[in-house]
Structure 1
Amino acid sequence: METDINIKYLIANKQDKLWGMTVTTVGYQRIEPHSVYPPQNHPSEYLFSPYKGRTLEEYVLLYIVNGNGIFSSDTHKNVRLTTGSMLLLFPGEWHNYAPDPSSGWDEYWIGFQGNNVEALVQNGFFSKQKTVFNVGPSLEMVQLFRLAIRVAAKQKSGYQQTLAGIANLLLGMTHSLDKSQAFNQSQHIQLINKAKLIMFENSHTNITAEEVANRICMSYSNFRRNFKQYTGLSPHQYLQEIRIQKSKELLAATNLTCQEIAYKTGYESPIHFNTLFKKKTGLTPSKYREYYQRQESHSINRPISPEE
């Protein structure tokens, strides 16, 4: 996966603002251990010194996917951040944060403003007194952030309304998951959720189920049994499903060759990729691309009936 995706300068017109929320920025960064933070490619208008901090004009949700660090603000001092921490940064509130040099971290963010979020704050759902939420490792959260990144990159007509919906859903899930964590979700479920996230984030590599078990400090036999009980799939099957789904996205949305897609989705060889893809879908990768493009072309060119 890319080490950084910064999408800024998202434009909102008067009509967009009437929707109740507009999105200003969305992105992802991987901060390697012992590297400079923030990196030089950080969006300039969001750049800050780790010694001086900064103040923003909008709200920002920042999700720590992997790693540890420290957060401080006008209201909070030296709050510990870990994998699964979600920050809600408030406009006009000085803040500062940074990963531990020894661990680095992966971060996703989305910035937004508008009447919708102001109403949530006014009604007590969010406040400056609680800006760090323990949502835990969540593949669903990561998928929503990555969906927002794809929508912002394409900027099709009405994209601001789609981004507003994603931001609202992220806020709702943050509120809900934080409350759920207070009920002390079992340690096994937390570890399985962490394993799912590790597999999703590293599916472009040749990571194995045994390596995932080692990273969550669980024996492979226990990991395999608990994972299958929780998901209905073995870790190996789950990893293959992720790779197949990602390869479908790349076949449908890019012009990458099947060989390039094979390597980008963690397969050791194009032949192995072709064999597994056909076994799972009934089509070779090239036939799947042809079928998808034919269906999309048919949808675009299909005349609209009066009833529609």
Structure 2
Amino acid sequence: MMKLSPNVRRAWNHRESGMRLKARIIFDYELLYLEKGQLTIRIGDTIHTIMPGDIILFKPGKEHEFIESSGECWMPHIHFDALHEDDFEEVPINYKNLSECSQKEKGWIREEVLESVLQIPDVIRVENHGEILKTLQQLIHTYERRDLDFFILQKSLALKLIYLIVKGLEASQASGLKVHDKSLDATATLIMERFDQTILLEELSKTATLSVFHYSRLFKQKYGLTPHQFQMRYRIEKAKDLMIYSPLSVTSIAEKVGYGSVYAFSKAFKQMEGISPRKFIQTFTGMNEL
């Protein structure tokens, strides 16, 4: 995810009656929002009926075709690379199937990361689609004008689109998460307030009024970490602040953030940060521990 650096190849408000497009692959990504009308499309071996509010993400090298449409279709969409590519300006939008592409053209097919890393499907149905449309229209408006700020703004808007889609998918997959959102936040606050103490999972689940199993599952779904991992991360962040801004020894810092021994603290720190506490102090302060 840290390598995401989208570049928009083309962006436009496409309106078409009788929309059809023969089977093809594209080298980049295409994000299409159906604002009006109805589409029947094939992606791989699957036929999809696309209705207003649906979003399609066509992926690099994955064959698709537009079979038919109903009514005038309003289809604001963009072509973009998800990762920065040095040959970005050289690569065109493709309308051929894979067998018709030359070896050079096949070499232009981008690495697929949005599904493999972020689990974004081909067809996206999310409640926040209106916000996604608004951002997509803003990006199209920016592309059409392409002033001096375009390079920065198009990246930020494309990243925002990806973010909104991911958050929309998370929300649609986590109906139980909304119900327990406040109680999960309360347990996260409890962990942060008592980061230097051992807090039993039973106490946290009781605070959230959930079973231990249900609480653990929802907590990880919301924060991406188990409660124990969440506390570990918070402890290490507190320790880093103390190492940079206080004169305390590593042994004293280990005690302050809840570790029973400097060995246990050093092991946890190196596991999370990739370097020892003493190396961290030396790197970020230029000083050796006293």
After TM superposition, the score normalised by the length of structure 2 is 0.45
The structure with the largest strand share of the pair is: 2
